[in-house]
């Protein structure tokens, strides 16, 4: 089992309107007495710095030889955009430069991390490997694979130990002690700790081969060569945005059904353009610039990011420096809503670990003290940029803790929780079932993946692999300061299907989740087998023939006030509202459900989500999206839904959505949770029917040149008599 460096986990407090207390820590991390002759490997992943790096500090204090190492593992880099790959290379180049200044260096490897690390361990005779604790499920699996591989191989010096380190804000000994509710967490009033200084590193053996950092074009080629063609084709769907498709004006079924081809053509074009742009920016970036040409994210190593952070915090002071003026201009463009600019400018640097979250907090608080003669007001910060920096990193830390706790303390969860990172943000999901058709469940407004508590296990036991996720901005998933739109959530679902599920799915959505599901099906139909809508949101408009996409409205003081009042109202009446939405089986609107909804409503970022919801405009009608999908659609409607006129809605859906199947249920707005047994039965039959029809159509293509009598003989040999008759009757039906 990996060891944890609990003593090296200082972390800052979340509290904004309070006196900040710092716990003493050493000002300069110096080399302690080192063991003679042994070596340690420091495996860098998303911690590309030497400042405030507990793993590097521990390795330098305990070992005579410290070997910094980065491996280009396609599994780790697969989720990186072209821009992130470019930022990564600049960060690695700077990290190597800083290490060389200390007489050390950064060794570079390629391929699977476990193989590269074992090879390096044998070469340098390392006894320990230091690496940062990960929160993403796939990265945790890679770290586990490295640890298992190390223990399975016999080394002359004994099996090396994998040392897991972290640099959170708070010195927490046991994750179980962390409350799941943010307002309870605030009551702990945990003290801040000063970030660690960079350590003094021993000189590195000059005989070891360092490995070259790749150029951007080579890295892209390397990634393409190490990705199978089917994965590349599937991933190409992510390169066509929802807005780009809708701006085409129409999505006729011919185009929609061949969207994969369109996506490939566009992706090749976009890739070519992207390569040219990045190649140009690498050559054309002016001396002293903090950004790539045309980019909005700070690019470079720790010193560059710290300089950019100083400029950001001092925005109100003005400056004559060209680089700071450049950043201030980027800030003004990115500040589309209060506080959004910090995430836009520094989000990638934080994700790559070029600077730690607690370092940002420390620098922001120090600047606030400078502005106020050492005083911190209990009523807030004197600069909006300080507030934006502190609130962003504190929010990130909270969701990191929630995500880590959800995975490690699984006994507190209804289902095993996994974490997927989307656009840098942490998304919770679960998967149950070992075999069968893939099904993805999408919750509605204010809910989370556990809202399908009565469906997940039942469907898995009936021969399905079932995924459910908590959308960005809900439940225990992250709630960043971004603009939330129906298209953003649709793209999140699209990317989840590509990155996590990896195959076409049966999409099931409730309420606003139903609208997101319909959007995915209408824009990227090749990803979806069938659609199931449970009391879906969205309008039905007769005679609608083209997608008139309405641009998101700008936020205003009135909208902010409206969102705050709505949030206050929902918190006050959540129990009553739930009971009304469960008219047939109100016992299902239990205290657990009320508690979880209330818990999430106090998370950082919720007011921003509410402001976006108040600003919602579901401008593309359901009938247009479902018509673009052109395949099987099941509409389940709880006819006692207090939020809609069910009879009128069903009549409109029947009239304007051709080919849909409608099932009326004696339930309210959330039939999947109110009457789960009935919904599960309908879902199982629906998916089984689709899969059987799909199988029959495949067989029909195989035997299209055969006579019907030959087909019947084939079925009788390979299927039971009952199933043989069903298949034969369906083939006959399709042939008619």
* Ramachandran assignment for 401, one of left (phi > 0), alpha (psi -120 to 50 degrees), beta (any other): alpha
pLDDT score at 735: 52
Residue 370 and residue 309: Cα distance in Å, rounded?
A: 15
What are the domain boundaries of the chain? 3-187, 413-684, 687-735
CB 34 within 8 A of CB 76: no
Residue 173 and residue 423: Cα distance in Å, rounded?
A: 30
What is the per-residue pLDDT across 595-645, written as a single tens digit (0 to 9) for each? Answer: 999 999 999 999 999 988 887 778 899 999 999 998 999 999 999 999 999
Task: Look up residue 288 and give its two tokens.
Answer: 């002293």
Residue 680 and residue 669: Cα distance in Å, rounded?
A: 16
Predicted TM-score (pTM) above 0.75: yes
Q: How far is CA 79 from the centre of its chain?
A: 10
The H or E element spanning position 180 is: none
pLDDT score at 428: 97
pLDDT score at 26: 42
619-633 exposure pattern, b = at least 16 Cβ within 10 A, e = fewer: bbbbbbbbbbbbbbb
- In 3-state terms, what secondary structure has residue 468? strand
Domains 3-187 and 413-684 share a fold: yes
CB 95 within 8 A of CB 51: no
pLDDT score at 714: 53
Q: Has domain 413-684 been given CATH number 3.30.1510.10?
A: no
Residue 152 and residue 391: Cα distance in Å, rounded?
A: 44
Neighbours of 268 (CB within 10 A): 12
Identify the residue whose tokens are 């409350």.
Answer: 179
All residues at 6 or more sequence positions from 538 whose CB lies less than 8 Å from its CB, including other chains:
514, 515, 518, 618, 621, 622, 625
CA distances (Å), 407 to each of 360, 411, 451, 553, in order?
26, 9, 18, 38
CA distances (Å), 44 to each of 55, 134, 353, in order?
10, 12, 10
User: Domain 3-187's class?
Assistant: alpha beta
DSSP bridge pairs for 126: 39
Identify the residue whose tokens are 């950001």.
Answer: 312
pLDDT score at 707: 53
Q: Enumerate residue ranges in the chain where pLDDT < 50.
A: 1-22, 24-33, 36, 250, 252-285, 705, 718
* Ramachandran assignment for 655, one of left (phi > 0), alpha (psi -120 to 50 degrees), beta (any other): alpha
Q: DSSP for 66-121?
A: EEEEEEE-HHHHTT--HHHHHHHHHHHHHHHHHHHHTT---EEEES-HHHHHHHHH
């Amino acid at each position: 089992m990996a060891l944890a460096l609990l003593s090296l986990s200082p972390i800052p407090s979340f509290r904004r309107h309070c006196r900040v207390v710092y716990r003493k820590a050493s000002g300069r991390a110096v080399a302690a007495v080192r063991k003679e002759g042994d070596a340690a490997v420091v495996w860098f992943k998303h911690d590309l710095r030497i400042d405030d790096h507990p793993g590097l500090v521990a390795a330098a204090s305990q070992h005579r030889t410290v070997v910094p190492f980065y491996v280009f593992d396609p599994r780790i880099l697969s989720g990186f955009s072209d821009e992130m790959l470019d930022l990564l290379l600049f960060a690695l180049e700077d990290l190597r430069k800083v290490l060389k200044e200390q007489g050390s260096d950064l060794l570079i490897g390629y391929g699977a991390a476990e193989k590269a690390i074992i090879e390096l361990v044998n070469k340098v005779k390392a006894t320990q490997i230091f690496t940062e604790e990960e929160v993403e499920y796939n990265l945790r699996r890679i770290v586990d694979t490295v640890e298992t591989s190390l223990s399975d191989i016999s080394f002359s010096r004994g099996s090396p130990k994998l040392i897991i380190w972290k640099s959170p804000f708070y010195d927490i000994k046991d994750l179980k002690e962390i409350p799941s509710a943010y307002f309870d967490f605030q009551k702990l009033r945990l003290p801040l700790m000063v970030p660690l200084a960079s350590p003094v590193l021993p000189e590195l053996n000059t005989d070891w081969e360092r490995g070259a950092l790749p150029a951007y074009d080579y890295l892209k080629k390397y990634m393409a060569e190490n990705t199978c063609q089917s994965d590349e084709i599937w991933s190409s769907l992510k390169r066509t945005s929802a807005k780009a498709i809708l701006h085409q004006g129409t999505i006729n079924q011919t185009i929609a059904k061949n969207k994969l081809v369109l996506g490939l053509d566009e992706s090749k074009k976009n890739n070519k353009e992207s390569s040219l742009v990045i190649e140009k920016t690498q050559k054309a970036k002016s001396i002293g610039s903090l950004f790539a040409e045309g980019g909005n994210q700070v690019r470079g190593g720790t010193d560059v990011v710290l300089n950019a952070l100083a400029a950001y915090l001092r925005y109100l002071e003005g400056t004559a420096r060209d680089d700071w003026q450049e950043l201030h201009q980027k800030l003004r463009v990115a500040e589309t809503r209060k506080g959004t600019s910090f995430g836009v400018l520094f989000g990638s640097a934080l994700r790559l670990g070029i600077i730690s979250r607690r370092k940002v907090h420390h620098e922001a608080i120090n600047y606030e003290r400078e502005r106020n003669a050492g005083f911190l007001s209990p009523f807030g910060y004197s600069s909006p940029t300080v507030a934006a920096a502190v609130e962003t990193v504190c929010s990130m830390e909270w969701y990191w803790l929630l995500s880590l706790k959800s995975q490690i303390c699984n006994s507190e969860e209804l289902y095993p929780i996994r974490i997927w990172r989307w656009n840098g943000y942490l998304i919770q999901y679960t998967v149950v079932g070992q075999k069968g058709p893939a099904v993805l469940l999408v919750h509605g407004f204010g809910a989370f993946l556990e809202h399908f508590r009565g469906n997940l296990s039942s469907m898995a036991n009936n021969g399905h692999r079932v995924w459910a996720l908590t959308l960005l901005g809900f439940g225990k998933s992250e709630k960043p300061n971004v603009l939330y739109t129906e298209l953003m959530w649709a793209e999140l679902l699209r990317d989840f299907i590509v990155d996590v599920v990896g195959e076409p799915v049966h999409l099931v959505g409730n309420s606003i989740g139903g609208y997101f599901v319909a959007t995915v099906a209408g824009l990227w139909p090749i990803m979806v087998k069938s659609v199931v809508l449970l009391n879906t949101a969205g309008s039905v408009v007769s005679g609608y023939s083209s997608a008139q996409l309405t641009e998101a409205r700008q936020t205003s003081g009135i909208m902010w006030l409206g969102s705050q009042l709505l949030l206050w109202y929902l918190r006050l009446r959540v129990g009553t509202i739930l009971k009304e939405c469960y008219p047939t089986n109100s016992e299902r609107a239990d205290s657990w459900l009320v508690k979880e909804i209330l818990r999430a409503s106090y998370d950082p970022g919720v007011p921003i989500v509410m402001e976006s919801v108040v600003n919602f405009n579901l401008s593309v009608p359901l009938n247009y999206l479902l018509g673009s999908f052109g395949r099987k659609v099941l509409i389940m409607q709880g006819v006692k839904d207090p939020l809609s006129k069910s009879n009128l809605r069903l009549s409109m859906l029947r009239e304007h959505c051709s080919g849909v199947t409608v099932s009326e249920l004696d339930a309210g707005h959330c039939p999947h949770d109110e009457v789960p047994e009935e919904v599960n039965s309908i879902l199982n039959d629906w998916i089984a029917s689709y899969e059987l029809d799909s199988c029959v159509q495949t067989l029909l293509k195989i035997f299209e040149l055969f006579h019907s009598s030959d087909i019947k003989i084939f079925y009788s040999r390979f299927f039971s008599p009952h199933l043989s008759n069903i298949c034969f009757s369906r083939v006959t039906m399709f042939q008619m």
